[in-house]
Chains A and B, each alone.
Chain A
Amino acid sequence: MKLRFMLKRFFALVVTVASFQVAMAQSSVTGKVTDQSTGAPLSNVSVTVKGSNRGTTTSSTGVYKLSLQAGDASLVFSSTGFAETEVAIGGKSTIDVSLATSSTKLSEIVVVGYGSQSKKDVTGAVSSIKGDQIQNLPVSGATQALQGRVAGVNVVRNGGSPGNAGSIRIRGTGTINNADPLIVIDGIPSGDLNSVNPNDIASVEILKDASASAIYGTRAANGVVIVTTKRGNFEQPLKVSVNSYTGMSQARKTLDVLDAKTLVTLKKERYLNDGIDLNEAWNNPYNLVQRTNWQDELFGNGITNNTDVSLTGGSAKSSFMISAGSYNEKGIIQNSYFKRYSFRINSDHKVGNRLKIGQSLQITRGADNSLNTLSAQDGLIWSAVRFMPFIPVKNENGSWGSSQSEPNQFGDINNPIFTVNTVDAININTRLLANVNAEYEILKGLKFKTNLGVDGSHGSNRNYNIIISDQTRARAENSLSRGFGEGYSLLSEYFLSYNKLFGKHKIDAVAGYTAQTFDGDYFSASKRNFPNEAASQRYLDAGQSLGGIGGNRSYDALQSGFARINYDYNKRYLLTATFRADGSSKFDQGNKWGYFPAVSAGWRISNEKFFNVSFINDLKLTAGWGQLGNQNVGGLQYLALIGNAGNYAFGNTTVGSTAQTRLPNYLISWETAEMTNIGLSAEMFNRSLQVSVNYFNKTTNDMLLSPPTIGTVGRLSIPDKNVGVLNNKGIEIDLSYNNKVGDLSYRVGANASFIQNKVVKLFDGNYIGSSIYGRQSQEISRTYEGLPLGIFYGWKTNGLYQTQAEIDSDPNLKNDSRRTDGLVAPGDVRFLDINGDGKITEGDRTNIGSPHAKMVYGFNTDFNYKSFDLSLFFLGSQGVKIFNADRMQGIDPTYPFNMYAETANRWTGPGSSNSIPRMSTKRNNLNYRTSDMFIEDGSFLRLKNISLGYTFNESFTKKLGIGRTRFYVSGQNVLTFTKYSGLDPELGYVDGNKQLNVDYAQYPQARTVTLGLNVSF
């Protein structure tokens, strides 16, 4: 019903507009527009009379016809990806034009939600990355490929394990909850960016501000990433492209640890210092022999292989793109891997003159074995750093080396090489992303569009645990667990778009309805006690006792209406207004619906008559404001849930049990981000220099926080409440310069973002805690009002006590019973008494550093000289702190582990060291508590990628029957400049967004050298 009403309104509008068309035709001109490089006809090329608003577009066969008036001097042809071309009319009645491809940004079309816009008309903050910028990088997914490409978009990687994607943060971390942007792939919101083969991508648009992203309403608060995949062109001859590369990767560095001899010396010294009996284990001469550097054993050569093939082409009525790809990455840790197979069919069809139908289909299958490299209890790298160096990988009798003889001295760690060789785990994820869209032109300029899509995923995992008898962390029983899950999201969208040019007014409008459902279902089962561990017996039926069985279902839905209008007056004044209403199943009746308005305006100063600066070709000032939502939070929180509360037995009678699992919050609702954006963009010096500067200020209100879960509540999960306020503000700068000198053409691009993150309000002014580290349950990160998210929280220190006199006279310990009890000794850390009570207590903990970078930046250059091309891409982060938790444990002699090599320089007497405490088995002074001793400068500059290519002369390759052929060699993570002492300064988020830049000895990113070949024919 609503729709028919809208249709009527549009018809009325069209009639009104048509009445403005009063100019009389005096003569006409016609012609055909083709692609200069292929000769193919170009459709939809805009043809306008220079100095007027009169114009037309070319037909599917590239033909146009235009009426002329007296005084019309020349025509301007413009189309996406081609250089704007001006041709003098000179009385001709036929003007054929072939357009050259162009890198000039002004003519670009950018994809925005539910439509596209010419970049010069954009009033919001939209960044665009072209597919060719991210092709053939040896990365497992498109997320990584976006790293450092544009200002305001930060890809944070937590470790470099194969298949690990990292998180995208647009304009800072917008909420303590899920701050991932909405991913829209070929018009389907909710897709997984890493399911797309990066070589299939035509462009990625990033909607950064409220005006640009408000059309996505409750899902837009953290920005929107729109991925458009490649499609065929009509009337295009068949083109086959093959991309293939192979890469070799290695660990960039390892951590220096103690050799066997020094380790034994230091272990012994602990007992001497403590005045207690030496554990006999340390007198065994066997332990003085250095046998294994465990990190060298763990890290090896990784190999990455990628091959993909694509076919594109089209007839007058149909066009297609078909691609298939295989990506296979073996990580630098033995036996770690990620594989991806991808397949795609995109096609477009014209049915008559008014109806267009398009289709996209993507099937991706990914598999990995997700080795444990994050745990500070038994993670692989963590273990390799700590395992005793005198233990061999294998004993002479062929059995695995083990710490079993003295687990309390040699650590309850299993031989990490044993672990990687016996792990039997796999996660497989198959994704289907498909849509059909139709576009029906009701009247010229008025189109009805529909988009029906499905995003499906099927996941399966298996994990087989063998019996472990000859390692310290033994396992008496083997077990197998399997899980299966599937998720389906169905999308239906219907909208009208209208665009019209009349006089000096240009209108572009879109309005519609969309609904999307999300269904999930899973089950898992495990069995124990498999009598035979042969590979052929590792299936559930072979297990003799039941482990557990579980399964559940979930459902969520969104229903929305949206509208946007773009208005352009005389190419000078631009206005965009957007509105979206979203209903979400995640909230209770009465709180389901949210309304999100946004408006922005632009002023193209350079088109003003008074503007007369010869070197500036284009200058635009924009400003916008809007509200966005975030409903990406746990569902059902408005219900008091009662569920399974575990098993019990009474004698031999087995029972289940039921208890409340969650308290309800009936008022729960979405988070609202309010954002202001001011931007200035300019093109200068004959469009060779492009500059864009944006300022934004974004406040997330009603941020959902779980109230501090005070222990008296028990273990009930506490629903979130809309109480928090978070602010992000910052400046983004993008620069690009291109030039040509003789045969050398080059482009230099740089971007930088300066973002400040500040928590304005939390629950009752209380803090929010985060993950705790290691066996001492050490708290590292906290979030407080008035500070950025997840600051490091602990004690401040000032070197070590060198003498007993220093301890006796230290005001920090004036009233501390540990001083009088003799529990603090020379060589211990001097902690600072922040609250001035003369004791070192929990009250002395404070903010000791922020994990947020002051500046993140990227820098890239491309050179083309004759047949050679060279590109370099740098990525950097400045003014950032890392909490090196692995070092905190790595120099702590109270653990039964090997230690960092620097521990050899420990305090041994006055003046010997002021940073590495004395050796002791005791924790009396808690020297290794969370303190500023373990905070390091995490700034880095990394040559992320360097690539040198050679394209064979086409006259030569044509003789071989092939077309363009390029051979290249590239390096990934080639150089890293940093003062950071850990494995890798690129660290990510843990525990949602509550902890950042804490080093757990994560899987480091590898250094990779790649050889590749692109051939098309």
Chain B
Amino acid sequence: MKNSNFYKGLFILLTISMVGCKKDLLESTPYSQSTSNTFWRNATDAVSASNALYSLLGDENLFPHTEQTWDICSDDQWRAGDHGEDQAIEEFTFDASNPQLGFSWSLKYEVISRANAILINVPKIEMDKALQDRILGEAYFMRGLMYWQFYKIYGQVPVITEQNVIENSYNVPKATMEEIESRIETDLKTAGDLLLATNDDANIGRATKGAAWGYLAKLYLYKEDFAKAIEYGNKVISGPYQLASNFGDNFEAATDNNPEMLFSIQRIQGWTEDNYCSWYYAPRPWDGWGFQEPTDDLVNEFEEGDPRLGYSIARVGDMIEGGPGGAPREYTEGLNNTGHYFKKYAKWRADGSGVNMDLDVPMLRSADTYLVVAEAKIRSGQSGDAEINAVRERAGVNPISGADIHDLIHERRVELAGENERHADLIRWDKANIVDIVALYAQDRGQWKRPRTFTRPRNYYFPIPQRQIDLSNGVLVQNPNYQ
């Protein structure tokens, strides 16, 4: 008995040494994730990293909603929806803690961070040179595009580049206006050099030379460097980026990847995130959320018989495809407050099973670039007729001759209705004394667009989100107009 207990005790002791001596007990493994030591191995990793530049673009709080919201300030649309903070944005009564101001801030810097990681690591990978160039080009493009958005909305923001990442220094002061412009210019130019002119079918939707040049032309127009705006705009116009034969093709899921579409956010139902644009723009009783409704003022801007109105904006009596059961249904009074929604962003599936999530979100069309060139030409004393008429004739509207800046303003408003250009355009023209934005916004456009007070120069830019100011502990200084 005593002996058997002794052996039992011994058995327990043996168990100890077996479990207790496991040497690597304290080693941990990051399952399903890599570390910086195990990534950036080859072209596969580089391509996967480049895909990450795009995967955030469709986030609700980036382009499909938040970045679209800035245009509720314009005379084209009424905010609608139930986001209380939008009232202050639309009426210019916001302060720096308005939540809308902060939603997209860190998302844009996340895209920049992904671009910086590629610019730091991809050059070290031994891989096919052409592919490497394309990926670096995509990173430069996306970084330039993010700073372009920052520049339009806030003016001055901190510029984070590879060097900040290497030095782990993210809390930095705002760059000057010149530094930001030069960062956008350099990035987009480099992208234009490195990117392909067009992509094959498996890569359609990746940035191209045309996309880089299109944004670059716009930057030069904003900087009033008309010669360069024309130079880079013409690179697009003369490149493989011809206008779609049918204006409406740009806004249909089946045809939205056409040469005119310089850049868009690609959506596939069930794979990518939902197309939040569709949710936000579709009328609420029709499965949408009913935001950002076109004003009657915008509808009235269209010339009699301009087919673009029918493609862009719904009016009472329109028959809309994809109703319950797949049959068209009539757009009626009361579906929206203003009696309109932007058709460009909301489509329904043919089988009647709801909002179409395959629809891409257009970001830049070459039609915009034609009008950028036209504006640059007109404002530098040349004729912009050719470019304006290219756009008009494609749409099926009679050409005009001797177009002046006001014709150009009209053309941009109807061609790009709802595409988040109008408010930024008006600010650009106001700065150049072409329009009086204060007077324009002070007009009473009825119940769904009351007079608003635009304050110069304060409302040229939005304030930096208060939370970012607070978090920076004094490093980030608010736009003095909002102090």
Task: List residues of A whose CB falls within 8 A of some B CB.
Answer: 3, 276-277, 351-352, 354-355, 404, 407-408, 411-412, 438, 440, 448, 450, 452, 472, 474, 476-477, 492, 494, 513, 515, 517, 528-529, 545-547, 551-559, 583-586, 592, 635-636, 639-661, 663-664, 708-716, 764-767, 769, 772, 775-777, 779, 818, 821, 823, 841-842, 894-896, 922-924, 926
Contacts and interface: CB of A to CB of B under 8 A. Distances in A.
B56 interface: yes
A710 B32 contact: no
Contact of A649 (B97, B164, B205): B205
B277 interface: no
Given A476-B354, A592-B26, A712 B270 contact: no
Contacts of B13: 3
Interface stretch (B211-219, B244-252, B466-474): B466-474
Interface of B: 1-2, 5, 8-9, 12-13, 15-16, 19-20, 22, 25-36, 38-39, 45, 48-56, 58, 80-85, 87-88, 93, 95-97, 99, 102, 105-107, 109-114, 117, 158, 160, 164, 168, 170-172, 199, 201-206, 257, 266-273, 284-285, 287, 290, 337, 353-355, 447, 450, 453, 465-473
A412 B82 CA distance: 8
Given A408-B81, A648-B55, A352 B2 contact: yes
A654 B30 contact: no
Contact of A645 (B55, B109, B290, B472): B55
B87 A922 contact: yes
Contacts of B50: 657
A584 B25 CA distance: 9
B36 A474 contact: no
Contacts of A276: 447, 450
B199 A842 contact: no
Contacts of B34: 641-643, 658
Contacts, number: 276
Contact of A659 (B82, B114, B269, B354): B114
A656 B268 CA distance: 13
A775 B473 contact: no
Nearest to A782: B470
18 contacts: A276-B447, A354-B5, A408-B80, A545-B270, A546-B270, A551-B32, A553-B31, A557-B25, A585-B25, A592-B26, A649-B267, A649-B268, A650-B266, A658-B52, A659-B117, A711-B102, A711-B467, A769-B467
A645 B35 contact: no
Contacts of B471: 708-711, 766, 769
B266 A3 contact: no
A440 B84 CA distance: 71
Contact of A710 (B202, B287, B290, B472): B472
B466 A842 contact: yes
A660 B33 CA distance: 9
B20 A492 contact: yes
Contact of A648 (B45, B51, B290): B51
Contact of B49 (A277, A517, A658, A821): A658
Given A643-B32, A657-B55, A823-B93, 14 more contacts: A404-B285, A408-B82, A450-B15, A552-B32, A555-B31, A643-B33, A648-B54, A651-B205, A657-B52, A714-B106, A714-B110, A715-B56, A764-B473, A842-B469
B27 A585 contact: yes
Contacts of B97: 779, 842
Contact of A661 (B31, B33, B111): B33
Nearest to A661: B33
Contacts of A412: 82, 284
B82 A656 contact: no
Nearest to A517: B25
B449 to A, nearest CB: 12
B25 A776 contact: no
Contacts of B272: 647-649, 654
Given A352-B1, A408-B82, A715-B106, A660 B113 contact: yes
Contacts of B270: 528, 545-547
A643 B465 CA distance: 29
Given A352-B2, A407-B284, A764-B473, A658 B45 contact: yes
Contacts of B45: 658
Contact of A765 (B93, B99, B172, B473): B473
A477 B32 contact: no
B458 to A, nearest CB: 9
Nearest to B465: A711
B84 A923 contact: yes
Contact of B110 (A715, A769, A842): A715
A239 to B, nearest CB: 31
A650 B160 contact: no
Contacts of A355: 5, 8-9
A553 B353 contact: no
Contact of A477 (B56, B113, B114, B354): B354
A407 B285 CA distance: 9
Given A654-B268, A658-B48, A708-B473, A408 B337 contact: yes
B16 A715 contact: no
Closest 9 CB pairs of A and B: A714-B110, A476-B354, A777-B99, A657-B51, A646-B55, A657-B52, A714-B113, A711-B106, A659-B52
B109 A713 contact: yes
Contacts of A772: 99
Contact of B33 (A474, A545, A558, A642): A642
Given A494-B16, A714-B106, A646 B56 contact: yes
Contacts of B271: 647, 649, 654
A708 B171 CA distance: 10
B114 A923 contact: no
Contacts of A656: 48, 51
A648 to B, nearest CB: 4
A657 to B, nearest CB: 3
Contacts of A661: 33
Contacts of A710: 170-171, 468, 471-472
B401 to A, nearest CB: 39
A820 to B, nearest CB: 11
A514 to B, nearest CB: 9
Q: Which of A352, A556, A647 has the most CB of B within 10 A?
A: A647
A923 B39 contact: no
Nearest to A663: B168
A559 B82 contact: no
